[in-house]
Amino acid sequence: MVKNTKKSLPKNIAKSAPVVGKAAAKPSPVLAKVSAKAAPVQVKAKTAPVALGKEVAVDTVKKGQAGGKTTKKAPPPKKTQGPGKSTKSAAVIQIQTDENTKTAPPPTKVSPAPPPKKAKKEAKGPAKEAVITPQELGEIVAQVKKAVVAQKQLMATNITNSLFPEVDGGVTIEFCLKKSAPKHPPTTKYISLPHSEKVAGETSVCLILPDIAKTKEVNTNADTEIEARKWAEALEEKHGITKDIYSKVYTLRQLKREVKSREQIKAFANSYDIVMASSNVYKMVIAHLGKHFLANHKSLYPLNLKINPKGKIAEVINKCAIRICPSKSTTSVKIGNITQGDEELATNGALVIETFVQHVPGHLDNIRSIHLCPLTGGTSLPLFISSGGPNDVVIKAPATIFNPDEEVLGELTTLGDDNHVVAVAKSGRVLVRDATTGQVIKKKKKATATK
């Protein structure tokens, strides 16, 4: 057994050895062709001519020349030759293979055409607001005259059985808006009616004046009319305003103590025809009375005690307050009583309509309807109706009344330096500036003691 294995080993080795040698000495033509085609892809241009015969080397040289011409001109990717036809150099082959492997260029993104300039101008809308014309006002006034006659006939039966005809016979004009404008502040316009229903001497007037003393004893005193009696004496001595002109005097403290709840505010509003407040407490009074006072078709009139207060009280009797609140959809204004003549009510109504349309944001385009209504409720008669929508209304932004950052410069003797001035802005800000440069002078920080 041992002898056979020794003899068999040389035979196996002898048979396998020539196969390796032949494969190395004589490569098969199939492998040569495959290697020649794959050579450019593997970037082995130097070894490809050695493995091939003479015919392959000549072909590669010719094709390399052709390929070299194409690389110099750098044609577009569509005209380049295949990857296996050029073997001039590794760099040239790499460039050609990269160009062939590239995919088709993506289509250029076409940006949408910009909208025409005319469309932009149309999107902004008209720049001007439409104010009422004389022709439109004349048509509305003609409807007012017809509506006054018809409204009198409807309210005649209710007035005969009423205990308070002055209140139940009141006539108002109601405005309904299309679009609210909350950015516009509410305003009140005071106009003198050509034919007022109020008569001097028969109209109850209430005066609300500031407090005289500001002590704690006055706040807790049970007699709340102490300061009101002092004001009555001062009005008669200084301004000649007697008790025949007004009905009662309230102080701000007395008003807050006696008129608190909703029912008390309504009773206070119904007790007087006209309520006037001093200019320095006007805002505090209207903030205290609030919407419950305004809901009863009442208005608060300002009174300046320094400039002819007696004449101001006489003028208010013939005035009408038109409150324009752009954030609300409806507003009503009293124009008179049905006991007045038809022409008188029509003239008052025309003046109220013209004033309201001129000052409301959007003017006539923003008004949906105008009705003539009884003060205590009932049938309302239309005077004007618009079919347009709120999108057709153009409302301009409110104009700023003043610049809060605008400063007023002045000298102050307590600064101790002649080159320093005080700058006071309308917003209430106070700064110290250099008179020559205008720069703000900052306060010097006190040095803290370090331990």
* Sequence ranges of the domains in the chain: 14-101, 134-392, 400-451
Q: What is the pLDDT of residues 151-171, one digit of tens each?
A: 888 887 767 666 766 777 888
Contact 354, 367 (CB under 8 A): no
Which alpha helices (H) appear in 201-281, and where do they start and end? 216-220, 226-234, 252-258, 262-271
pLDDT class for 434, splitting at 50, 70, 90? Answer: confident
Is 56 buried (19+), middle (13-18) or exposed (0-12) by CB count in 10 A? middle
At residue 288, the pLDDT reads: 92
Least confident of 102-106, 249-253, 285-289, 350-354: 102-106
Contact 243, 232 (CB under 8 A): yes
pLDDT class for 130, splitting at 50, 70, 90? Answer: low
Please determine, for residue 79, whether its predicted confidence score (pLDDT) is greater than 50: no
At residue 448, the pLDDT reads: 59
Q: What's the Cα-to-Cα distance from 94 to each of 72, 79, 374, rounded to whole Å?
A: 14, 17, 97
41 alpha carbon, distance to own chain's centre: 67
Nearby residues of 244 by Cβ (< 8 Å), 6 or more positions away: 201
At residue 112, the pLDDT reads: 56
